[in-house]
A and B are shown apart, each in its own frame.
Chain A
Amino acid sequence: MSYEDATATLDHETREAIDIDRSKGDFTFPERHKYDAGRGLSEKTVDYICDVKNDPQWVREFRHKAYKIFNEKPMPTNWATKDLENIHFDDIRYYLSDGEKPKRSWDEVPEEVLKTFERLGIPEQERAFLAGVEAQYDSEAAYSNMKEELTKQGVIFVNSTEGLKEYEEIFRPWFGKVIPTGDNKFSALNSAVFSGGSFIYIPKGVKLKQPLQAYFRINSESFGQFERTLIIADEGAEVMYMEGCTAPKFETATLHSAVVELVALKGAKIQYVTVQNWSSNVFNLVTKRGLAMEDAEVRWIDCNIGSRLTMKYPGVIMKGRRARGEVISIALANTGQHQDTGAKMIHAADETTSNIVSKSISVGEGRATYRGQVHIPKHLKGCKNNTECDALLINSHSRTDTYPAITVRGNRHATQHEASVSQVSEEMLFYMQQRGLDEGQAMSLAVNGFINDLVREFPMEYSVELKRLIDLEMEGSVG
């Protein structure tokens, strides 16, 4: 009898009580899909998605063009891991939904979906500290709501489908502009089959005090989730957006390939916070980039704990004078995982400043790779970049690679690059254990200490969660 069978007859609370924390996201409900695009990807799949979503013609054309580009582009295995070859595009299901529109109230959300998000603590978090929540279940949002006062201020927070239909005049000029379809094979794939994700518009001068949150949940096996997010902060606006994600651990591979575009207009500020905790069968191949105009700021605060393979290099194009870009990144690679992460900073105006701080932890046979790109062209002046990458190795099987590429032309700029690799030494462990901590606790403490300064950058509610996840990972990694 499987775990699911054994627990199916128990009530919610009992299941909650016996469920160990590690498997917080590792549960699934039976699939109830009205719409299923079937396995494999073809022109027909793209049309199926367009039909179900009732896409306007320009979107249909956009998708078909993207599908062609996806087919033409080779897998980037010339520089990336060969593990990408284990993604079987023909076995994946590209669209699954129950055909319902996202609900404004949790009471209207189907029971199993509600149970899912309750177990993940989403409605509770919404009440506690969020300005709005979008909860996506497989291909579509099941719930989407925002505080009324924000609606009155003109803030838009809807899913991408609603965004492109209802707000075309704001959506369309920026859609696919920060990340062109052909940026890479997976941005093309997303552009062909995207569904879900958020469209956010913050009007001029509106500063959100509380974060908006999206939660991405995969419930179905052999599925690909392709959400598409576009956030536009108008002049002087400020917003923090947080995303979380989980999926059950299936035997077969699951694909998650998102595209996230941020646009910070003059003097605007966008912070995008991710805590990625996919199960260890998920390929997480995500393209994220922000555009910062004059005096604007884009910050990516990114933490990758889960997935089988993550490839993600959040970027900022600093297009206006004095624009700022920042990537704060934590990656934890346990046995069976490869966290291939980094940052891209494209300086395209004078006096622009970028900062990259990346810390990775490799445990067991886990592998962490940092790839960075900093580009400062010759004709600019007064640009600054600071890059710090620190790697912590937990034992001798671990592997860490750093590929920084800093292209600075001209002599009117300041760049600084520091990298370090350290280990939790036996002597440090001996010291901590001599004080009474068992090996797992000692490791957790050492790892938490290593990333402590970065964890402070996460909102409090997330940093607590982060610490807990890391404790669990470390406890599981010894003995």
Chain B
Amino acid sequence: MSLHIQNLQATLEDGTEILKGVTLEIPKGEVHAIMGPNGSGKSTLSKVIAGHEGYVITGGSVTIDGEDIGEMSIDERSRAGIFLAFQYPSEVPGVSNANFIRAALQSRLPKGQEIDAVAYYKDLYAKMDLLEMDRKFTARAVNEGFSGGEKKRNEILQMMMLEPKYCILDETDSGLDIDALKIVSKGVNAMRSPDRGMLLITHYQRLLDYIKPDHVHVMAEGRIVRSGGPELALELEKHGYDFLKEAALA
């Protein structure tokens, strides 16, 4: 049972190669981190897994628990269990957070079945409390006028509410002060489970002080160039990404 990315290749619509054969397997119960310099293709990888239509898949496959999701639409992948916490979450003007999350949950129910509103709010409030979010938040429009920290907390809240099988967190630590980082990490750690795989995409070691990965991968120029344990992140922190050039040559 895993999120399995096999030799994935993707280009922009103009043909520019971004992913040049990425292979990665995230079994349930494990947390993997991908690190790498800007422009290495980390964010693209997350979007391609989620089914973003701005990329052309030129080779390879993505399967979850053995099922190929290559032909699935964005929303089908979501309902199949893929969750992407965005680096830059969109604003949805006029739509309250409570209604947005509710609509997302509703989309997972069979037609004709309605969400139990009382149970929904109970669950929502409990998770908001864990993330130290004010109750007023439910009535605010999705991400509209949110600070960077509020947006990221909102992503984690949605993740907690939707209970996905596989979570991909794209630069969740960017733009967070240390207090917000601790709260967000608390939420992510609460989600760790033998039934769930996680992929953290990050530029910095800092996040990994709070969310301990089982495996660390380094990505550069559209490929995974090194994989190892948590110590690899510390090595990167010490030497920077320069050594990658050597690694790439080796």
Q: Do A and B bind each other?
A: yes
List A residues at the B interface (Cβ < 8 Å).
425-428, 430-439, 441-442, 445-446, 448-453
Pair A430/B92 contact, Cβ less than 8 Å:
no
Pair B94/A435 contact, Cβ less than 8 Å:
no
The answer to whether A445 and B92 touch (CB under 8 A), given A435-B104, A436-B75, A438-B75, is: yes
Pair B95/A435 contact, Cβ less than 8 Å:
no
Secondary structure call for the A interface: helix
8 Å CB contact of A428 from B52, B74, B75, B91: B91
For the complex with contacts A428-B92, A434-B50, 7 further pairs of A-B residues with Cβ separation under 8 Å are A430-B74, A432-B92, A434-B75, A437-B104, A439-B73, A449-B92, A452-B94
The reply to whether the CB of B234 lies closer than 8 angstroms to some CB of chain A is no
> Cβ of A446: which chain B residues have Cβ within 8 Å of it?
92, 95
How far is A451 from B54 in the complex, measured between Cα atoms in Å?
Answer: 29
Interface size on B, residues (CB 8 A): 32
What is the chain B residue whose CB lies nearest that of A446? Answer: B92
What is the chain A residue whose CB lies nearest that of B104? Answer: A435
> Cβ of B84: which chain A residues have Cβ within 8 Å of it?
434
CB distance from B118 to the nearest CB of A (A): 21
With most chain B CB atoms within 10 A of its CB, the pick from A432, A446, A453 is: A432
The answer to whether A436 and B78 touch (CB under 8 A), given A446-B95, A449-B95, A449-B141, is: yes
Between-chain CB contacts (< 8 Å), 22 pairs = A428-B90, A430-B47, A431-B86, A431-B92, A433-B75, A434-B50, A434-B74, A434-B77, A434-B86, A435-B75, A435-B107, A436-B78, A436-B107, A437-B104, A445-B103, A448-B95, A449-B92, A449-B93, A449-B94, A449-B95, A449-B141, A450-B94
7 A-B pairs with the lowest CB-CB distances in the bound complex, closest first? A449-B94, A449-B95, A431-B90, A452-B94, A433-B74, A435-B104, A436-B107
> Cβ of B52: which chain A residues have Cβ within 8 Å of it?
430
8 Å CB contact of B78 from A426, A435, A448: A435
The reply to whether the CB of B9 lies closer than 8 angstroms to some CB of chain A is no
> Cβ of B83: which chain A residues have Cβ within 8 Å of it?
434
The answer to whether A435 and B90 touch (CB under 8 A), given A445-B103, A448-B95, A449-B95, is: no
With most chain A CB atoms within 10 A of its CB, the pick from B92, B104, B108 is: B92
How far is A438 from B103 in the complex, measured between Cα atoms in Å?
Answer: 11
8 Å CB contact of B90 from A425, A436, A451: A425
What is the chain A residue whose CB lies nearest that of B94? Answer: A449
> Cβ of B105: which chain A residues have Cβ within 8 Å of it?
436
The reply to whether the CB of B145 lies closer than 8 angstroms to some CB of chain A is no
What is the chain B residue whose CB lies nearest that of A444? Answer: B103
> Cβ of A450: which chain B residues have Cβ within 8 Å of it?
93-94
CB distance from B79 to the nearest CB of A (A): 5
> Cβ of B93: which chain A residues have Cβ within 8 Å of it?
449-450
Pair A445/B107 contact, Cβ less than 8 Å:
no
How far is A452 from B140 in the complex, measured between Cα atoms in Å?
Answer: 12
8 Å CB contact of A453 from B78, B94, B100, B162: B94
CB distance from A68 to the nearest CB of B (A): 49
With most chain B CB atoms within 10 A of its CB, the pick from A433, A435, A437, A453 is: A435
CB distance from A203 to the nearest CB of B (A): 40
